[in-house]
Amino acid sequence: MLVRDAMSTIVLTIGPDHTLRQAARLMSGRKVGAAVVHDPDTAGIGIITERDILRSVGAGQDPDRERAGAHTTTDVVFAAPTWTLADAAAAMTAGGFRHLIVLDDKAPAGPVGIVSVRDIISCWTPVLSTVG
């Protein structure tokens, strides 16, 4: 099975100036655990996750003042839609994260999806239940 079979193709994208509360509200509303952060000033993309927001709030920071850009991971490992789910899981394990932004060379406009650990498990569970 490939990343394209498991990924979510609806990608929540926010800007670096969104507050953490705004990011959390948008993520909660879409029922997603991560958002792509696009910074037009740097022409780069990063990712902010529910874990990033939780760390900030747990540290006593104000979610109405803290900006997504200050909590964005910019050293991102990107997946290709043609990666196997095992490749994606290995990259997540090696990097210690639960989401990969999916980029496709054939679609240079930006991310084509996000794949999460939950997406991979959802694909593997039916297959594994039929084995042995």
Contact 84, 1 (CB under 8 A): yes
pTM of structure: 0.87
Place of tokens 């899981």: 89
Surface-to-core class of residue 85, CB atoms within 10 Å of its CB (0-12 exposed, 13-18 middle, 19+ buried):
buried
Please check whether residue 46 is in contact with residue 39, taking contact to mean a CB–CB distance below 8 angstroms. Answer: yes
- Residue 17 is classified by DSSP as T
Query: What confidence score (pLDDT) does residue 43 get?
Result: 64
- Superfamily (CATH) of domain 3-129: CBS-domain (3.10.580.10)
Which tens digits make up the pLDDT trace of 4-21? 999 999 899 999 999 999
**pLDDT tens column, 41-93:** 876 899 999 999 999 999 999 999 999 999 999 888 899 999 999 999 999 99
Domain ranges of the chain: 3-129
Please give the helix or strand (H or E) that residue 21 lies within, else none.
helix 20-30
